Amino acid sequence: MANSSLSATLFNVVFTPNNRTLTFNIVGVSDISGNVTAELDLYAYGKRILQRNLDPCAQGDLRQLCPMNTGQINIESNLVLDQDVVNDIPGIAYAVPDLDARVQIYIKDANSGAARACVEADLLNGKTVYQHAVGWTTAVIVLLALIASAVASSLGHSNTAAHVASYTLSLFGYFQNQAYIGMTAVNLPPIVDSWTQNFQWSMGIIKLKSLQKLATWYQRSTGGTPSTIVSSVMNTSVQVEKKLIKRAIDLASRLSKRADEGSSSTGAQVTVVRGIERVGFRAGIETTNIFATAYIFFVLFSIVVIGCAVLFKLMVEVLEKTGRLQNNKLREFREKWRAVFKGIIIRIGLITFPLLAVVCCWELTSRDSAAEIVVAVMTLLASIVILGRSCVRVILKAKRSSREHKTPGYLLFSNPVFLTQWGALYLQFKTACYYFTLPLLVFVFVKALFVAFAQSSGTAQGFAFFILDLALLVTLAIMRPYMDTKTNVVNIFVAVINFISSILLLIFTEVFNQPVSASRLLLVARTNGPRALPPASAALCFSSSTLSRHLSSSSSCSLQPTSPSSPRTRTSDTNPSRTIAARS
């Protein structure tokens, strides 16, 4: 609401079914003076399921608000719900991960009934689909598949290696597409946001203390100013944008991403994070460290892969000098190792191009430091030139083969050195579609441009994803460009899943003006899986509307690193498995 007279720095709510008690705690700064009443509303998936009116003058534990005075306030109270109200709460509320529900408390003038302020927090039940184990598991699966492909290739099973590599890249591409969805500025429902967070490792968004220290040091040493959003959650209200009403989205878009910008007249400091910044914040990474973290991941990945290849080359050389090298394939590797290394670089480029495309382009808008901008531009250009030149070389070779041998595949497959060096660009496709890697790279790059440069418009990103994924699905269904039926089926299936995801993403933009509850209930079909609460120092709590009177919004909410066992969020007879908590 406009000109809210209360800015909350803490809003915790805990409901304990055992004793039917709803306990809430509000800490903040108030501009209100006089007698007030309070209205408590509980919403689930866009629908109000509970409404209660509170009179501070008639309730003992709220006597401090009778009358309410300006300045610092600390409201702690318990509300015992009727048994029929508790019975009306569906069991799914205690079990569904990333519950999409919220609590609102309106402060009203006792005489006129006019609303003076509002605070809001999302309900948490301790269950979520964001699991660090999921990220590590998917990463290990991809790594093992790549190793299996390399081993099969070294043993001479080139067909098997090509199939395994193709399936692995398709799976990895799916992970990266899910990560792209999480990076959009669309206000995702909690469960979708958490689901996509599981795959942000494929974008290099991995929190390691050593990496964060290195990223911060590099930024400072190159003239940048590190943000302090993650490190200052005790003093800054952090709004993680999710499923907001359109008015709140428009208001939030006026806010800068830096933590030190803007405070309300009541002294609250507010930061709204969305899109890529939201992803970094949930991972515990400062917004100014996102690019550096992803880039360091790319560098380390490249070093590890190339280092393993060098060690393998040294091992082969040792075996050759000692007369123990018996495998003919290893002899071939030794003879054409230069082509092998060039092929490895091409494969690294294909795997990391989606990562580099989005973070390098986004760095041009975030401008963390002059040196990082230069690194982003040079890396992106180098990646585009290397992959583009490689694709053009394959196309020219195929055209020459068509002129001389009436088929594009003859020169592509007859020369073992050329096949080793450039085969990653066309081996997974049938001969007539040798060029298909190029349009796929263009597809990824265009999608990355929308993710990076359209962070202020989730609707534009939603439409772009829908059009691009539809175009890819239709193209794959008509052309069937992959090497055989099974590979085509796998990739078409992945394209169908990605297209369904883009449809839901478009729906979540609320561009169709559908009821909030309708779009939120769609997420039941969107994703499944377990997750645990984010780590320790930050018990993450999210709000469904913008923060504080600074934004002229309908609520005042914040994020605090309060542990689940804090006295502010604990009631007697609490059963951890049957407790719903709301924190903001």
Let me know: does 4 contact 549? Beta carbons within 8 Å.
yes
N-terminal to C-terminal alpha carbon distance within the chain: 17
Encode burial over 12-22: b for 16+ CB neighbours within 10 A, e otherwise. bbbbbbeeebb
Q: Provide the pLDDT for residue 565.
A: 32
Distance CA 138, CA 195 (A): 13
Strand partners, 71: 30
Q: Provide the pLDDT for residue 269.
A: 52
Let me know: does 383 contact 349? Beta carbons within 8 Å.
yes
Q: Is 381 a domain residue?
A: no
Q: To the nearest 5 percent, what fractions of the chain are helix, strand and coil?
A: 55, 15, 30
For residue 485, count CB atoms less than 10 angstroms from its CB and return exposed for 0-12, middle for 13-18, buried for 19 or more: exposed
Sequence-distant (6+) residues with CB within 8 A of 485 are none
Edge to edge, the sheet with strand 115-124 lists 47-54, 36-44, 101-109, 115-124, 580-583, 6-16, 21-30, 71-80
The mean pLDDT values, 10 residues at a time, for the chain of 584 residues are 67 78 80 84 78 79 76 79 74 74 83 82 79 87 81 68 86 94 90 91 90 89 83 58 42 35 43 85 89 93 90 85 73 79 90 95 92 94 95 94 91 88 90 94 96 92 96 96 93 96 91 64 44 30 30 31 31 37 46
Distance CA 321, CA 440 (A): 44
The pair of structure tokens assigned to 536 is: 């320790």
Distance CA 466, CA 170 (A): 19
Q: Is 11 a domain residue?
A: yes
Let me know: does 1 contact 118? Beta carbons within 8 Å.
yes
Encode burial over 48-82: b for 16+ CB neighbours within 10 A, e otherwise. eebeeebebeeeeebeebeebeeeebebebebebe
Q: Provide the pLDDT for residue 550.
A: 28
- Strand-strand pairing, 6-16 and 115-124: unpaired
Distance CA 290, CA 298 (A): 12
Let me know: does 380 contact 336? Beta carbons within 8 Å.
no
Q: Provide the pLDDT for residue 156.
A: 59
The pair of structure tokens assigned to 414 is: 């007859």
Q: Is 90 a domain residue?
A: yes
Phi/psi for 254 (5° steps) reads -80, -10
Phi/psi for 285 (5° steps) reads -115, 130
Q: Provide the pLDDT for residue 578.
A: 43
Q: Is 503 a domain residue?
A: no
Distance CA 161, CA 155 (A): 9
Residue 13 sits in which domain range? 6-128+533-583
Q: Is 403 a domain residue?
A: no
Distance CA 413, CA 371 (A): 43
Q: Is 229 a domain residue?
A: no
The pair of structure tokens assigned to 24 is: 């809430």
Q: Is 350 a domain residue?
A: no
Q: Is 25 a domain residue?
A: yes
Q: Provide the pLDDT for residue 517.
A: 55
Distance CA 231, CA 70 (A): 29
Q: Does the bond joining 530 to the residue before it have cis omega, within 30 degrees of 0?
A: no
Residue found under tokens 């999608």? 447
Phi/psi for 291 (5° steps) reads -60, -50
- Residue 221 Cα to chain centre, angstroms: 28
Task: Kindly give the residue spans of alpha helices, DSSP state H, lying in 69-125.
Answer: 83-88, 92-95
Amino acid letter at 177? N
3-state SS assignment for residue 253: coil
Domain count, the chain: 1
* CATH number of the CATH domain containing 21: 2.60.40
Q: Provide the pLDDT for residue 479.
A: 95
325: nearest Cα among 314, 341, 336, 311: 314
